[in-house]
Amino acid sequence: MAHDNLAPVLALIQKHWGYSALRPLQAEAMTAVLQGRDSFLVVPTGAGKSLCFQAPAMERGGTTVVVSPLIALMKDQVDGLRACGIPAVQLDSSLLPEEKRSYAQDLLQGAIRLLYVSPERLVSEEFCQFLKRVGVHTFAIDEAHCISHWGHDFRPEYRQLGKLKDIFPQAAIHAYTATATERVREDIVKQLGLRNPVILVGSFDRPNLSYRVVPRVDKEAQVLEMLERHKNEAGIIYCLRRKDVDEVSADLQAKGVNCKPYHAGLSQEDRKSAQDAFSQEQCNIIVATIAFGMGIDRSNIRFILHANMPKSVEHYQQETGRAGRDGLEAECVLLHSGEDIQMWKWICQKSVEENKVPPDFLANMMRHLNDMDAYARGSVCRHRALVNYFGQKYEADNCAACDLCLGDTEPVPDAVVIAQKILSCVARVQERFGINHVISVLRGENSERIQTLNHDKLTTYGLLKEHDKKDLRDWIYQLIGQDALRKEGDEYPILKLTEVAWEVMRKLRAVRLVRPLRAALRQSRADLAAWEGVDRGLFEELRQFRKKLADARGFPPYVIMSDATLRELAQQRPSNVARLKFIRGIGEAKLREMGEAILKIIVLYCKENQIPMDVAWTSKAARPAKVKQHVTGAKARAFDLFREKADLEDVQHQLNRSHGTIIQYLCDYIRRERPDDISLYVPKDIYDKIAAAIREVGSGQLKPIFVTLEEKVPYDQIRLVVEHLRV
Ligand code: ADP
């Protein structure tokens, strides 16, 4: 799909949002909206879904209706849009009658670009009639997974949205979600009745998050350790039961920590006040059950601590996904213990007995639970495991941002021998038993069941009696993660051997077994890169300024400006308006409204502390890691074509990939192969101009270069030259 028609939208984005480049799949998603073609976008939290319908709504004119499940979510988006100078409203039960009337008037006059509503309201007869009078042509469905009961967050009111296509047959529907396995995806398309939709599934990886699984040995101390590492920063501590939430939060409060509990057992008032305090940055720490979630748009959450295991990988991905929406580093730690899965099983069983969920959901719940437990015990890179779970490949060998890749675990000596013992035990019990029984046999337990089955006579009986249950369970999961074992059955899964298992037993293949280390946690690459060159004192001052402004307007601070923008300000320290324009996230409205005040703070701070301003920023840490990955597939073909000096259109045509993807391939090609001459892609005179601008303002970000060149040279060409000049 070509994106040449996106130039006007890009100009709008620059003007209102102050962003200078699109993120992966945004171009494709926006093109579908502009063309009025149904679409479905699946990208992780923080990837920038909202912009995909907001910017085209401005470009197309008319009214785009956005469906969102929670009032709090809508409010944040509407406040954020207005701060960028975009006419947006939300219609909900909290409005006064005169507000409602005035909004309705504005809508009928075509003065509103984005209208936010709940699904219940949207499908009511009266409201549909009203929308027909407004002449709505586009619907954006946020959190679209709520429509599928295969997902982990089914909401019956979303089911009604199935009627939309019948009521508005001419309108296009666009669905957005951060989490959906193949099965859920198919269900969403079916339920919404999307017609020949453009389906865009992005990478599920969140490189700015680091993931760790640590054995839960002393919950209290481990929680405090985490808080110590994140002083003055925002975080969520997830617990399994309400009782745990109350205990942990009371304990922390007694120690002087400013935190608030949140669970479904609290009054609506208490919940709202906790959520508001967190949003307004009056409180940085929330201790919560799963109930705390979807309404949380705070973009500068720096850690998520799971004091217990969540009940599915989807939940884990969504809960950890709330961290680092601003693209800056954030830490996700899961305290794991075998007790949690037992507790969850008991809770699931009880919900079936109490008729809270239909019995046929039980197998689905158990499958989700077992998958989560397997993740926690696995020995495969966490980023890889998560991405694979959602059906995608992970290319890098080492993510440099998880416990396994950072070396927080130690390899088990004799891993192959241990693996062989485990696998032969599975063979001896004829692949007819589950994990618990295999562990009992290996540890030589003297239970009635073992005796009845005569399993104490097996040659593998007691073969690993010197190891404890927890280690054995972890290792079995690690063997599953390496495809040597597989589980069959949902409710009472049994262990089966695979081809890989036989190769391991015949010593044709090695396996890796690990044990967690309780050593100090190392920082990930993202952690190190994120604060490089940022003056923390100035960052704090700017944060205070943002807080005051937010309080005065009754907005959450992150709606005014993201932490990423604050860090850039504290890193480049612009001294004048021209330089301030370089900063990502500062569009025209913000420049006008707060530009002067920001400059004043920066100039004063820099003078007082005698630090330089207008720093041309080129990050060292953000440079690509030295590990060279193998180039395969379409990318390898693109490299061949670039070597043969094919032009961009030709490569795009031959590979049938988007323009953005081809530019990405070309950047990678330039970085790796260092061709002497790229004049085929960037004419010499333009190359020289870009190079001169880079000398002036640095190559850390593209926007300053773009602005210096009077916004006349396309971003693609700037990117290519930046890559070419990299040392
Ligand atoms: P999602 O809905 O996918 O979780 P959001 O729409 O909330 O993500 O976007 C996350 C953050 O990224 C927001 O602060 C948003 O303004 C910002 N953002 C979106 N697109 C871009 C872009 N192209 N460049 C820079 N920032 C962006």
Dist. CA 386–CA 399, nearest whole Å: 12
pLDDT in tens, 570-598: 998 999 988 898 888 888 888 998 999 99
Residue pair 38/13 in contact by the 8 Å Cβ criterion? no
pLDDT in tens, 118-135: 998 888 899 999 999 999
Residue pair 77/226 in contact by the 8 Å Cβ criterion? no
Dist. CA 160–CA 428, nearest whole Å: 53
Out of 5-9, 173-177, 408-412, which region has the weakest mean confidence (pLDDT)? 408-412
| Residue 626 pLDDT class (50, 70, 90 cuts) | very low
Cβ of 49 closer than 6 Å to ligand 1, yes or no, is yes
Dist. CA 614–CA 617, nearest whole Å: 9
Q: Averaged over 518-535, what is the pLDDT?
A: 62
Distance 46 CA to ligand 1 centre (A): 6
Assigned token pair, 377: 């015990």
Dist. CA 287–CA 251, nearest whole Å: 11
Cβ of 23 closer than 6 Å to ligand 1, yes or no, is yes
3-state helix vs strand vs coil in the chain, percent to 5: 50, 10, 40
Cβ of 16 closer than 6 Å to ligand 1, yes or no, is no
Instruction: Give the max Cα distance, the chain.
Output: 85
Angle, CA 314 vertex, CA 311 and CA 320 arms, to 5°: 90
Q: Phi and psi of 21, rounded to 5°?
A: -145, 155
Distance 52 CA to ligand 1 centre (A): 9
pLDDT in tens, 371-417: 899 899 888 899 999 999 888 888 888 888 898 888 777 788 889 99
Name the H helices within 6-63. Answer: 7-16, 26-35, 49-60
Ligand 1 pocket test, candidate residues 19, 49, 51, 567, most atoms within 8 A of CB = 51
Q: Which atom of ligand 1 is nearest to the CA of 297?
A: 7
At 39 the three-state DSSP class reads: strand
Distances (CA, A) of 161 to 120, 139, 144, 172, 392: 9, 11, 10, 13, 29
Distance 48 CA to ligand 1 centre (A): 3
Q: Averaged over 535-548, what is the pLDDT?
A: 90
Residue pair 719/648 in contact by the 8 Å Cβ criterion? no
Dist. CA 91–CA 553, nearest whole Å: 20
pTM summary value = 0.68
Ligand 1 pocket test, candidate residues 49, 50, 79, 328, most atoms within 8 A of CB = 50
Distance 80 CA to ligand 1 centre (A): 11
Cβ of 90 closer than 6 Å to ligand 1, yes or no, is no
* The three-state (H, E, C) secondary structure of 502-563, written as one string: HHHHCCCCCCCCEEECCCCCCCCHHHHHHCCCCCHHHHHHHHHHHHHHHHHHCCCHHHHCCH
Q: Which residue, among 259, 269, 389, 367, has the nearest Cα to 320 in the 3D structure?
A: 389
Distance 102 CA to ligand 1 centre (A): 30
Cβ of 322 closer than 6 Å to ligand 1, yes or no, is no
Task: Name the average pLDDT for the chain.
Answer: 87
Cβ of 658 closer than 6 Å to ligand 1, yes or no, is no
Dist. CA 375–CA 602, nearest whole Å: 46
Report all structural domains of the chain as residue ranges with CATH numbers, in order of start. 4-201 (3.40.50.300), 209-406 (3.40.50.300), 409-516 (1.10.10.10), 531-617 (1.10.150.80), 622-726 (1.10.10)
Does position 620 have pLDDT exceeding 70, yes or no? Answer: no
State the amino acid at position 396 in one-letter form. A
Q: Look at the alpha carbons of 403, 244, 179, 494 in this order and tell me if their dihedral is positive or negative.
A: positive
Angle, CA 545 vertex, CA 543 and CA 546 arms, to 5°: 65
Assigned token pair, 320: 């950890």
Assigned token pair, 78: 């509407």
Does position 356 have pLDDT exceeding 80, yes or no? Answer: no
Cβ of 48 closer than 6 Å to ligand 1, yes or no, is yes
Q: Which atom of ligand 1 is nearest to the CA of 325?
A: 10
Length of the chain: 727
Q: Averaged over 105-112, what is the pLDDT?
A: 94
Residue with tokens 């704090």: 540
State the amino acid at position 87 in one-letter form. P
Residue pair 369/345 in contact by the 8 Å Cβ criterion? yes
Residue pair 305/284 in contact by the 8 Å Cβ criterion? no
pLDDT at 378: 85
Cβ of 19 closer than 6 Å to ligand 1, yes or no, is yes
Cβ of 300 closer than 6 Å to ligand 1, yes or no, is no
Dist. CA 492–CA 295, nearest whole Å: 36
Does position 290 have pLDDT exceeding 50, yes or no? Answer: yes
Residue pair 276/344 in contact by the 8 Å Cβ criterion? no
Does position 228 have pLDDT exceeding 60, yes or no? Answer: yes
Ligand 1 pocket test, candidate residues 3, 15, 19, 77, most atoms within 8 A of CB = 19
CB count, 10 Å around CB of 1?
Answer: 16
Residue pair 45/316 in contact by the 8 Å Cβ criterion? no
Cβ of 50 closer than 6 Å to ligand 1, yes or no, is yes
Distance 386 CA to ligand 1 centre (A): 22
Dist. CA 380–CA 389, nearest whole Å: 12
pLDDT at 152: 64
| Residue 1 pLDDT class (50, 70, 90 cuts) | very low
Distances (CA, A) of 641 to 207, 644, 646, 647, 678: 29, 5, 5, 8, 14
Q: Averaged over 265-282, what is the pLDDT?
A: 90
Cβ of 47 closer than 6 Å to ligand 1, yes or no, is yes
| Residue 55 pLDDT class (50, 70, 90 cuts) | very high
Assigned token pair, 381: 């890179």
Does position 430 have pLDDT exceeding 60, yes or no? Answer: yes
Residue pair 571/690 in contact by the 8 Å Cβ criterion? no
